[in-house]
Amino acid sequence: MGTNVVPIAKSLHGKFYTGNCYIILHTAEVKSGTRGHNVHYWIGEEATEEDCLMASDKAVELDAALGSHAIQYRETQGEESDKFLSYFRPCIIPVQGSFSSHWRRTGDECDGTMMFRCEGEHVARLREVKFSRSSLDHKAAFIVDTPSKIFLFSGYNSCVQTRAMALDVIKHLRETQHCGRCDIGIIDDGKLAGDSDAGEFWNLFGGYAPIPRDVPDADNGEPMATSPTKLFWINKRNLVPMEAHFLEREMLKSDRSYILDCGAEIFLWIGMTTLVSERKTSATTLEEYVHLQGRSSIGHTVIMTEGHEVADFKLHFQHWPKNGVQKLHEAGREKVAAIFKHQGYDVAEIPDDKPRQLISSNGCLKVWLVDRGCVTLLCTEEQEQLYNGDCYIIQYSYAEDGKDYQLFLAWFGQDSVQVYSLLVLSKSRHSFIFSLAKEHFHQSEIKAIINIAIMVYESRLMRVALG
């Protein structure tokens, strides 16, 4: 497939070619009433490393387009999660070859015989096997799909649930691959007498022959040894071990990504302030890690963004806060800061936006002029005319919530004499609350808070001339 991403027709959903990779988006409404997204990328056993890396990149891009709220799952052929298989009822159908070159079975006809091994109790796990008697065993159910008839062979050690699911698969194949016009034959392992379906089935393999006994499992019933949990910080595609006796939530930083290797499961945790390019690098590092470990086709891998962790991930930490999800506006501020830092700007942490408390505009205003050592109370008409060569003391009294408040402002004209500024402070009381600043600030401050119209006149001489 190269580097192409091709949409798959709905009629072909669930049919996966082993030489390709697929991206699947599943959206469902969760208990809170919002939509939850699961992004799965499926890797065929014959897929190239290039396709694997591209699938992980596109899954990251899709998650980013969904607001970085999706959980990503890496699915490998034959080791798919039950969650993934549950999307495709009754099963997924793996087909040998690649989508671009292999057009055997277009959906309405069959040319040749295919053989599948079916396992599982809750969901059907279907795998194409070599059409040979040696592929049969007593532990699973087998489906042999011929152009004229579909056979179900049930090993005597297979469970009832597996046989029932295999029968559902056969019905699905008859409808989708044979247009509903195909006979079905059911063969029970070890029963041959007077069974025409059994005779027809064994003739496909050149006649009946006993199936060897099942080989015992390699673990001999002993519990599998658990691997120690390892936490790595991803630093420019290099893995830095995080040494600790116990894992704590505080070890995870929002501007970094981490790999948590738990043996049977591998988690990739991505901080919420990381960039999409950094997330792609982390996903690539994860692919390289599982290939280097020789685990590219085994185990389960889950990718999640900070604030949307799955329960299995959080269980590996000593303490995980219940209310660990940041509010949307808080996450947004951190993302903006991270983007600026990435572009080379020295950006401090963006402070919280605290709403400014509004002061009632129905209070009482008094203004005193400070002139040559004298403090004079101005009448109402004169209060709205301030001169940039003078200094003033402004008192604003107001009531709020049953309490009386006094606000004092010292206003210094930009051309005022410094000695008069000092006089303003000396005339004040220690209990006064001052807002000290230059003229241009206090003009807007008074207008906004006290809601009066102020006209600033040039120099004290104009005031004297008008007087």
Amino acid 365: pLDDT: 84
DSSP annotation of 281 reads H
How confident is the prediction for the chain on average, in pLDDT? Answer: 78
Amino acid 443: pLDDT: 47
Greatest alpha-carbon span in the chain: 128
Q: ∠ CA(13), CA(297), CA(152), 5° rounding?
A: 55
Amino acid 445: pLDDT: 46
- Whose tokens are 């004298």? That residue is 374
Yes or no: say if 393 and 428 are a contact pair by the CB < 8 Å rule: yes
Q: ∠ CA(75), CA(120), CA(135), 5° rounding?
A: 90
Amino acid 218: pLDDT: 55
Nearest Cα neighbor of 274 from 240, 233, 232 is: 233
Amino acid 106: pLDDT: 47
- How far is 365 from 200, CA to CA, in rounded Å? 106
Regions of the chain where pLDDT drops below 50: 1, 104-110, 220-221, 325, 327-329, 349-357, 428-454, 459-467
Residue 71, helix vs strand vs coil: strand
Amino acid 383: pLDDT: 75
Write the single-letter amino acid at 445: E
Yes or no: say if 409 and 435 are a contact pair by the CB < 8 Å rule: yes
Tell me the pairing of strands 403-412 and 300-305: unpaired
Nearest Cα neighbor of 79 from 292, 300, 314, 311 is: 300
Chain centre to alpha carbon of residue 247:
21
pLDDT digits (tens, 9 = 90+) for 250-266: 999 999 999 999 988 99
90 upstream amide cis, omega within 30 of 0: yes
Question: Which residues on adjacent β-strands are paired with residue 127?
Answer: 117
CATH superfamily of 364-466: Severin (3.40.20.10)
Residue-range domain boundaries for the chain: 364-466
What are the CA-CA distances from residue 343 to residues 323, 337, 339, 340, 375 (Å)? Answer: 32, 10, 6, 5, 55
- How far is 158 from 133, CA to CA, in rounded Å? 17
- How far is 413 from 369, CA to CA, in rounded Å? 11
Yes or no: say if 172 and 180 are a contact pair by the CB < 8 Å rule: no
Question: Which residues on adjacent β-strands are paired with residue 93?
Answer: 15
Question: For 457, what's the count of Cα atoms within 13 Å in the CB-facing half-sphere?
Answer: 16
Write the single-letter amino acid at 174: R
